[in-house]
Amino acid sequence: MQWMEIKIVFDAAEPELAQEMVSYLVMEHGAEGLEMTTPGETGMVQDGSGSSVPDSKEHSVTAFLPLDDLFEGRKADLTRALDDLKGSVLTDYSVHFSKQDDQPWETAWKAHFHPIEIGESLVIKPSWEDYENPEKRMLIELDPGMAFGTGTHPTTAVCLEMIETECLKKAPERFLDVGTGSGILMIGAYKLGARKVFGCDNDMDALEAAAKNLKGNQVHEGDFGLWLGDLLAGIVEGAFDMVAANITAEANVMLIPGLPRIMAPGSIFIASGIMAEKKDLVLEALDACRFSVERVQETGGWVGIAARMP
Ligand SMILES: C[S@@+](CC[C@H](N)C(=O)[O-])C[C@H]1O[C@@H](n2cnc3c(N)ncnc32)[C@H](O)[C@@H]1O
């Protein structure tokens, strides 16, 4: 497999926020092996040989896209998404491409993935790390492969917190995660009491990682379902009483009109992956479908929204 290294060098008034958002966008567009640099600091991720990335003079995010049939489409979508950030989050940016034959970054991210406590009752623990668990939190043990969803990203953490809040009120019978990635939200919902958990993704690698993680977290084979598809395409059976989607604001806007078909009356929808300045797009889409917004939570420039079906 050949890969294209994509390095995005940028200027921004709030570089940390910009780094978060650019990283999210590249992951969202199927990139792997994320590496970030900040002027005067060593890279946040080490290369595959274990040696440190040299000091940088610029803010940058580097990641790798597989050079397959989807490459040109992903590149065009990513460029459009970066252009959308220019003038708001990014003052300026440039993208540099370089073809690669191997993947030295494949395990490098592991160095930066440690146990992380979420909300009142969950902890996400890398499968290779120990955790003493003094508060007797429910464990989500993950080896996410390269699929998005380690809990370290604010969009995942906000979404899990909102799922926890709703599950403590009433755990769902049927939970659906649109864009499941590593399966982390499905596992969280199951541990918090959901009876059956379902997830879809348009990336086959994510589904393989999710299946492995679900089984590794004792989600019984008969209690979960996964499928490959774009948003709700392929869902024939409805009546989900909790739906979560940590996808972009634009993808949430496309998803929302389809939700009334598959959600039970009075059920809850949790939207995440929304940049703060795009929050209104999602709120308008929810309003158009007569959802009532119950909670809007903002963390580090990202917004989660919990809204109830009429
Ligand atoms: C930001 S990740 C979220 C992963 C995980 N649910 C979490 O909260 O950490 C978004 C996931 O949605 C998937 N995705 C993006 N657009 C999609 C679409 N139109 N239909 C289905 N899945 C999509 C991506 O492949 C990716 O795995």
Which residue stretches of 58-153 are H helix? 71-85
Residues 144 and 188 in one domain: yes
Q: For residue 287, give every residue at least 6 positions away whose Cβ sits within 8 Å of its Cβ, in sequence order, or none.
A: 293
Alpha carbon nearest to ligand 1 atom 4, residue:
181
- At 52, is the pLDDT very low, low, confident or very high (cuts 50, 70, 90)? very low
Residues 178 and 214 in one domain: yes
The pLDDT tens digits of the residues spanning 140-156 come to 998 766 556 677 778 89
pLDDT computed for residue 67 by the predictor: 83
Mean pLDDT of 132-146: 85
The pLDDT tens digits of the residues spanning 228-274 come to 999 999 787 779 999 999 998 999 999 999 999 999 999 999 999 99
Q: For residue 43, give every residue at least 6 positions away whose Cβ sits within 8 Å of its Cβ, in sequence order, or none.
A: 35, 36, 37, 52, 53, 54, 56
Q: Are 127 and 52 in contact (CB under 8 A)?
A: no
Place of tokens 């406590």: 117
Which 3 state secondary structure label does DSSP give 197?
Answer: strand
pLDDT computed for residue 145 by the predictor: 61
CATH code for the domain of 126: 3.40.50.150
Q: Which domain holds residue 286?
A: 113-308
| CA proximity to 147, closest of 103, 114, 180 | 180
Q: For residue 260, give every residue at least 6 positions away whose Cβ sits within 8 Å of its Cβ, in sequence order, or none.
A: 289, 309
The minimum-distance atom of ligand 1 relative to the CA of 231 is 20
- For ligand 1, is residue 247 a contact (CB within 6 Å)? yes
What percentage of the chain carries pLDDT values higher than 90? 55
The pLDDT tens digits of the residues spanning 62-89 come to 888 888 888 899 999 999 999 999 888 8
The residue whose CB lies within 8 Å of the most ligand 1 atoms, and thus the one to mutate among 177, 247, 256, 259, is 247
The minimum-distance atom of ligand 1 relative to the CA of 254 is 19
Residues 133 and 257 in one domain: yes
Alpha carbon nearest to ligand 1 atom 8, residue:
156
Residues 166 and 46 in one domain: no
- At 19, is the pLDDT very low, low, confident or very high (cuts 50, 70, 90)? confident
Alpha carbon nearest to ligand 1 atom 6, residue:
180
Report the 10 Å Cβ neighbour count for 173.
Answer: 14
Residues 263 and 296 in one domain: yes
Q: Is 150 annotated as a binding residue?
A: no
- At 100, is the pLDDT very low, low, confident or very high (cuts 50, 70, 90)? confident
Mean pLDDT of 273-286: 94
In whole numbers, what is the pLDDT of the chain averaged over residues? 86
Mean pLDDT of 40-44: 46
pLDDT computed for residue 43 by the predictor: 39
Residues 14 and 86 in one domain: yes
CATH code for the domain of 54: 3.30.70.260
Residues 149 and 291 in one domain: yes
The minimum-distance atom of ligand 1 relative to the CA of 199 is 6
> Where among 73, 108, 143 does a domain terminate?
108
Residues 96 and 9 in one domain: yes
Residues 121 and 37 in one domain: no
Q: Is 179 annotated as a binding residue?
A: yes
Mean pLDDT of 198-221: 92
Q: How far is the CA of 18 from the centre of ligand 1 (A)?
A: 20
> Where among 51, 80, 108 does a domain terminate?
108
> Where among 67, 92, 108 does a domain terminate?
108
| pLDDT tops 80 at residue 36 | no
Residues 126 and 222 in one domain: yes
pLDDT computed for residue 49 by the predictor: 35
DSSP string over 11-59: E-SSHHHHHHHHHHHHHHTT-EEEEEE-BTS--SS--TTSPPPPPBSSE
Q: How far is the CA of 200 from the centre of ligand 1 (A)?
A: 8
Number of domains composing the chain = 2
The pLDDT tens digits of the residues spanning 153-170 come to 788 999 999 999 999 999
The residue whose CB lies within 8 Å of the most ligand 1 atoms, and thus the one to mutate among 32, 146, 201, is 201
Mean pLDDT of 191-201: 96
Residues 301 and 156 in one domain: yes
Q: How far is the CA of 28 from the centre of ligand 1 (A)?
A: 7
Residues 85 and 117 in one domain: no
- For ligand 1, is residue 273 a contact (CB within 6 Å)? yes
| pLDDT tops 60 at residue 222 | yes
ipTM: 0.99
